[in-house]
Amino acid sequence: MKLGRMILVGVIAFFGVSIAKANAQVVDFNISANYSWGLDMVHSSLKQNENRYTAIGWNFSNKSSHKMWFRVVDSAERQIGSAGLFNYKTTDAIQSNLSIGQNYWLSARRENVIDPVTTVSGTWNA
């Protein structure tokens, strides 16, 4: 189980990053996240290939050393694929079956209920 899960994470990260680079749909995001999902103002629409993984690298926050939750949503704010818990200043990937010609938004959230709004920014390879 340990080996299987580690391989799965590795494969998702590798393919996520490589496929996203091939498609080159790189978008800068800046999200004000709260306990409920905060939505980014930018969106991404795939023009060439369908994308099974989306890679998120976040490198700025008004808080230090913590993890944030990310997910991709469609125009009706429905979650596409799974949500991911990503570390500060790293690039990770989550499974999100994106199709050509559709608009998708990146959404972020944190586990802390009471703190001031957390601002996160980085790049989204969709």
Partner 1 sequence: MVFNFYMRSVSLKSFLTRNRNFIILYIILELIFIFCTLQEIEFYQKFLSIIFDSDLRINFMDNYDCNNILYLPFKILVCDLKNLGFDYIIIWGTNIFQLFIPFFAIFSVLIFWNRKYNSNVKNIFNFSLKFTFTIFAAYLVYYLILILSIGNIFNSTIRGELFIDLVGESFYYNHTYIYYFFDGIIKFFYVPFIYIFSSIILSRYFKNILVFLNFIILYYFGISPIITILEHLVNINFLYINPIAIMISNIYPKINSILLLFSNFILVIISLLISKFRHKNFFVDKASIITFSLLILIINYAFLGFSLNSSKEIINVVYHNISYFIIYLFLSNLLINWSCNIKKNNKLNNIDFCKILFSIFFIILFTFMLLIVIFKIFSYSFSYFELFYYMGNLYIILLIINFMELMLEKVFCLNNMSFRLVFLFFVIFIYIFKYLYNVDFIGFNIFKYYFVFDNFYHLIFHYLIWIVLSYIIINILKRVYNRGD
Q: Dig out the tokens for 17 from the structure.
A: 């990053």
Q: Residue 68 or residue 104: which is nearer to partner 1 going by CB?
A: 68
Q: Nearest distance from residue 2's CB to partner 1, in Å?
A: 5
From residue 49, alpha-carbon distances to 23, 58, 119, 124 in Å are 7, 24, 31, 16
Q: Residue 48 or residue 82: which is nearer to partner 1 going by CB?
A: 82
Q: Residue 10 or residue 103: which is nearer to partner 1 going by CB?
A: 10
112 forms part of the interface with partner 1 (CB under 8 A): yes
Q: Which residues contact 48 (CB under 8 A, 6 or more apart)?
A: 23, 100
92 forms part of the interface with partner 1 (CB under 8 A): yes
Q: Which residues bind partner 1 (CB under 8 A)?
A: 1-2, 5-6, 8-9, 12, 32, 35-36, 62-68, 82-88, 92, 94, 110-117, 119
